[in-house]
Amino acid sequence: MVYIKLTGDNMKTALITGASKGIGSAIAVAFAQQGYAVALNYNNSKDRAENLADVICQSYNVPALAVKCDISDFNEVTEMFKIVKENFGGADVLVNNAGISCQSLFTDITPEQWRNMLGVNLDGVFYCCKSALPYMIEKKSGAIINISSMWGQVGASCEVHYSAAKAGIIGLTKALAKEVAPSGIRVNCIAPGVVMTDMMSSFSQEDLNELKEETPLQKLGTPKNIADAAVFLASSKADFITGQVLGVNGGFVI
């Protein structure tokens, strides 16, 4: 755990799940650049998360906290939010980014693989939203940003369990946005396209080139593209936006 003292009473806190690498780490840095205190959730990548927290503290002069938690376990999520409350008071912004992916024929997906995919990618979002809302409701403000996927919008062959989980995030976003809007809380969703992260490591260069050609903008996304969208949705510039799905996919899905 890495922590430095708050620099001001009005500083807001952003909690990002799956923040040790890829899209999550880019989102954490983007919020730190905006002056947020950041809580970085990780499950397995302790060194990477704590190193990132150190870099954020030193580079942007904001508090940073690395917290281990398996978001598919409600008890661990509850403990994580307890730690965030003790150190920062609570999370003003929650970015549900943590997720796993797997390519497999539907007929080869085992019940265990199905349960694991939904446990991390969908149950985790539910658990984190449930734990974040009491603080936000009390303050009558807050922003929740859920990271889905363009495959949650249109489905992907050989990724049925992944597509189902990401589609569930979209449904959760739309319904929750309506429910908590009277409390001044906004809930939105980002649906990334093909973004160059560790999840793409199994793809050959030929596959990546094909995906690039299929993308109308003729390029693949970067973690920063998603981070910039997250910061926008959390900002006052988006204060009349809730229950929406923002596609950041280079035109791949329209």
Instruction: Report pLDDT digits (tens) over 71-120.
Output: 999 999 999 999 999 999 999 999 999 999 999 999 999 999 999 999 99
CATH of domain 13-248: 3.40.50.720
Q: What is the pTM of this model?
A: 0.96
Rounded Cα distance between 189 and 191, Å, is 7
Q: Which of 36, 42, 135, 162 is catalytic?
A: 162
pLDDT tens track for 130-143: 999 999 999 999 99
- In 3D, which of 162, 186, 165 has the Cα closest to residue 174? 186
pLDDT tens track for 159-185: 999 999 999 999 999 999 999 999 999
**Spatial CB neighbours of 193, under 8 Å, sequence gap ≥ 6:** 150, 215, 220, 221, 247, 248, 249, 250, 252, 253
Could you tell me the two tokens for 218? 């003729």
Exposure letters 184-212 (e unless 16+ CB within 10 A, then b): ebbbbbbbbbbbbbeeeeeeeeeeeeebe
Enclosing H/E stretch for 23: helix 22-33
| Residue 36 annotated to the active site | no
